[in-house]
Structure 1
Amino acid sequence: MRIFKRVLLLLIAILLVAVFYNYPKLNIIAGYTAKNTASSVFLAKRTLQFTDSTDTNFSPIDLASNSVNENEKEAYASAFGLLTRKAIYREGLGSVLVVDGVDLEEKPLIPKRATSDNNTPFPYGNLDPIDSVFTEVNYDKLNKAVGDMFNDDYKTRAFLVVYKDKIIAEKYADGFDKNSLLLGWSMTKSLTSTVMGILQCDGRLNVYDKAPFSEWANDERKNITIHNLLQMNSGLEWVEDYNSISDVTKMLFLAEDVTELQINKPLVGKPNEAWNYSSGTTNVLSAIIRKQFDSHQAYLDFWYEELIDKIGMNSMVVETDMKGNYVGSSYSWATARDWAKFGLLYLKNGQWNGESLFDKDWVEYATTPTPTSNGWYGAQIWLNAGGRYPDVPKNMYSFNGYQGQNVFVLPDQEMVIVRLGLTKNADVNHFLSEILNSFK
């Protein structure tokens, strides 16, 4: 009996130690699950069952059990019953993960939205596009290339090819269609950069100015420019690892204010000499954008009035943190067609239906390779300048996000390709080259 008690005590001690060391991970697991469940169910209008079988069914996220309160628009995720996290949906702002001990505003400010144009065909409105047939396109080869993207390994949810403003291929996985909202993850970074570009072209800021943070005024960080931040070349410390308790997971799943963590990081490299991919840096840019406005309402409205709704991305919602900051690094939802409109805006050098949002100089700036990035990165935009995809034109650039969210812009081909999925397993070089090879 004594041996049994000793063994039992030992097992309990081991269990307590395991819980102690893994508790922070459980916090992240439950946080991720609650946040994405709330967005999927209440923003994207999917069922909890569908969400559990798709968005939150991968390891270790599937260790959490989920539930929703339809009346209160809340989602809960429990990790082994040891820790429960809650996320709340707010109309116009999307879902936000609640941080313990912090109260949300009962009536938060929400952005004003334009009325959707459902009478004009795509891309300038939301009506189905006019059918077009191009003699230079081999549609059999094109449709095969698109169809090959839909398998259990690639887990593609939506695929769209736009050529000369016309949709020439469009396909969705079961459970999704042209009206389905899909999370862009880090494609939101390119959206944030574009808002900055509009401010730059309007003369409201200069990207070569020093970043406006008093926290940096008395040390070496005072030399960091907005340009350095846009290129993720500031030299600030940051760890972007989604498989551990890292800076990015702390920011997204533990922070009340997503802009603070990177602002408080020390310098570990020299500005313009130390490229380091950082979601924290993008949320610093969101904070800088906020500083350009006299009121929070003006900050919220500007993203929609001057970019999102102006080009008819009426389905898009950019989610905020508990402090009302747009989570410019990670949280924007839209249909595949609206993501394509974003790519078309760049293809058109900032011109949209007779109106100029930004000019060609901004496109050239945003797609200029960052020093030390091996030609992969510009101003929050991914590049092929270094030949990462050898069978694709080097002037192709893209907006990319976690789990394989992509908007590819091919200027010479007058083409935008959208791929939204649940894994990065897809061979980008292969499927892009196959689509290009379908043109005679």
Structure 2
Amino acid sequence: MKILKKSLLLLFTVLLLAVFYNYPKLNILAGYSSKMTGSSVFLAKRNLAFTDSTDTNFSPIDLAHNSVDEKSKTAKSSAFGLLTRKSVYREGFGNVLLVDGVELDKSMPIPQRSAPNNSTEFPYGNAEPKDSVFANIDYDKLNSTVASMFNDVNKTRAILVVHKDKIIAERYETGFNKESLLLGWSMTKSITSTLFGVLQCQGKMDVYEKAPFAEWQNDDRKNITIHNLLQMNSGLEWNEDYNSISDVTKMLFLTEDVTKIQIDKPLVGKPNETWNYSSGTTNVLSGILRKQFKTHKEYLDFWYTGLIDRIGMNSMVVETDMSGNYVGSSYAWATARDWAKFGLLYLHNGNWNGDALFDKDWVKYATTPTPTSDGWYGAQIWLNAGGRYPDVPKNMFSFNGYQGQNVFILPDQDLVIVRLGLTKNADVNNFLSGVINSFK
């Protein structure tokens, strides 16, 4: 009996230690699952069964058990019954993951939105575009190239190809269509940076000014400029690892204010000499945007009135954290067609059907390679200047996001190509070159 008791005690101790060691990981696991479940069900209007089979069906997230309450618009995710995380959907703000012990501010003003233009055809409105046929396009080759991305390897959900403002190819995976909201993940970073371009064009912002943080004034961080942050070249410490308890997973799933976590980080390099991809940096930029306005409502409205609704991306919703900051690093949802409009805005050098949001100088600035990025990165925009895609023009640039969200802009070909999927391992080089080669 003594041996049995000792064995049971040892087993209990081992289990206790295992739970203690893995509890933070379970917290993030359940947090991710709750956040994505609530956004998928209440914002994107997909049912729970479909969400479980398409959005939270990968390891280790599929270990969580998810449930939703339609009346309260809440989603709960349990990790082995050891802990449960809860998120809540709020109209105008999307779905927000709650942090234990923090009260959600329910008094925030709802962002101002514009009514969709449903009478003008895409891209300058939301009406169906007229059929267009270009004599210099091999449509069989184009459609074959698009079809090749829809399989178990490439895991594509949506592809849209736009040439000279006309849709020349459009395809969706089963269960998705032109009305489906799809999460852009880090393509949201390009939305955030573009707002700085809008303010700069209005004469309300100089991106070469020092970042406005009192916390940085007594050390070398005082030399960090907004420009350095836009290029992710500040020298600030940051760990962008989605497979562990890292800075980025703690920011997205364990904190109520995403704008603060990197502000407290030390320098580990020199500004303008140490490129490091950081979602924390983008949310610092979201915090800087908030400082540009006298009221919280002005900040909330500006993202839509200054950019999103201004170019008719009426389906887009950018979700906030518990403190009412837009999660500018990660949480913009929109249809494939509205993501394409964003690419067309850059293709047209900031001019949207006669409305100048920014100018060609901003596009040049945003697509200039960041020092030490090997030609991969500009101002929150990915570049091909370093030849990452060898069979694609080097002046191609793109908005990219986790799991293979992309809007590719090819100025020489007058092309915008949207690809939204579930894996970044898709053969993008052959896909893009295949589209290009479909032109005779």
Both structures adopt the same fold (TM-score exceeding 0.5): yes
CA deviation digits over 1:387-418, x for unaligned, max 9? 01000000000000000000000000000000
Cα distance in 2 between the residues matched to 1:38 and 1:437: 41
Cα distance in 2 between the residues matched to 1:348 and 1:99: 42
- In structure 1, runs of 5+ residues without a counterpart are none
SS in 1 for 2:146: helix
Cα distance in 1 between the residues matched to 2:165 and 2:95: 33
Cα distance in 1 between the residues matched to 2:258 and 2:183: 18
Cα distance in 1 between the residues matched to 2:297 and 2:166: 36
The answer as to whether partners of 2:192 and 2:285 remain within 8 angstroms in 1 is: yes
Aligned residues between the structures: 440
Cα distance in 2 between the residues matched to 1:424 and 1:8: 46
Specify the alignment match of 2:264 in structure 1: 264
Cα distance in 1 between the residues matched to 2:34 and 2:291: 30
Specify the alignment match of 1:357 in structure 2: 357
Specify the alignment match of 1:314 in structure 2: 314
SS in 2 for 1:89: strand
Cα distance in 1 between the residues matched to 2:110 and 2:212: 26
Deviation at 1:138, TM superposition (A): 0.2
Specify the alignment match of 1:426 in structure 2: 426
Cα distance in 1 between the residues matched to 2:309 and 2:129: 18
Specify the alignment match of 1:20 in structure 2: 20
CA deviation digits over 1:123-182, x for unaligned, max 9? 000011111000110000000000000001111000000000000000000000000000
TM-score relative to the length of structure 2: 0.99
SS in 1 for 2:28: helix
Deviation at 1:4, TM superposition (A): 2.1
Specify the alignment match of 1:3 in structure 2: 3
Specify the alignment match of 1:375 in structure 2: 375
Cα distance in 1 between the residues matched to 2:395 and 2:105: 46
SS in 2 for 1:96: strand
Counterpart mapping for 1:40-439 below 5 A: 40-439=40-439
Cα distance in 1 between the residues matched to 2:377 and 2:183: 22
- In structure 2, runs of 5+ residues without a counterpart are none
Cα distance in 1 between the residues matched to 2:281 and 2:355: 30
Cα distance in 2 between the residues matched to 1:236 and 1:203: 28
Cα distance in 2 between the residues matched to 1:412 and 1:34: 43
Cα distance in 1 between the residues matched to 2:3 and 2:436: 71
TM-score relative to the length of structure 1: 0.99
Cα distance in 1 between the residues matched to 2:194 and 2:297: 19
Deviation at 1:55, TM superposition (A): 0.4
Q: Which amino acid in the other structure matches residue 341 of structure 2? A: K
CA deviation digits over 1:49-68, x for unaligned, max 9? 00000100101111110000
Q: Which amino acid in the other structure matches residue 116 of structure 1? A: P
Deviation at 1:105, TM superposition (A): 2.0
Cα distance in 2 between the residues matched to 1:51 and 1:74: 15
CA deviation digits over 1:308-355, x for unaligned, max 9? 001000000000000100000000000000000000000000000111
Cα distance in 2 between the residues matched to 1:368 and 1:205: 19
SS in 2 for 1:176: coil
SS in 1 for 2:95: strand
Cα distance in 1 between the residues matched to 2:198 and 2:179: 28
Cα distance in 2 between the residues matched to 1:405 and 1:73: 27
Cα distance in 2 between the residues matched to 1:346 and 1:193: 12
Cα distance in 1 between the residues matched to 2:15 and 2:436: 56
CA deviation digits over 1:270-296, x for unaligned, max 9? 000000000000000001111110001
Cα distance in 1 between the residues matched to 2:387 and 2:104: 47
Deviation at 1:7, TM superposition (A): 1.6
Q: Which amino acid in the other structure matches residue 85 of structure 1? A: R
SS in 2 for 1:430: helix
Cα distance in 1 between the residues matched to 2:281 and 2:196: 13
Deviation at 1:2, TM superposition (A): 2.4
CA deviation digits over 1:10-35, x for unaligned, max 9? 11111111101100000000000000
Cα distance in 2 between the residues matched to 1:251 and 1:200: 28
Q: Which amino acid in the other structure matches residue 192 of structure 1? A: T
Q: Which amino acid in the other structure matches residue 65 of structure 1? A: H
Q: Over aligned residues, Cα RMSD in angstroms?
A: 0.6
The answer as to whether partners of 2:404 and 2:419 remain within 8 angstroms in 1 is: yes
Deviation at 1:106, TM superposition (A): 2.6
Q: Which amino acid in the other structure matches residue 138 of structure 2? A: N
Cα distance in 1 between the residues matched to 2:58 and 2:365: 38
The answer as to whether partners of 2:275 and 2:373 remain within 8 angstroms in 1 is: yes
The answer as to whether partners of 2:105 and 2:323 remain within 8 angstroms in 1 is: no
SS in 2 for 1:263: coil
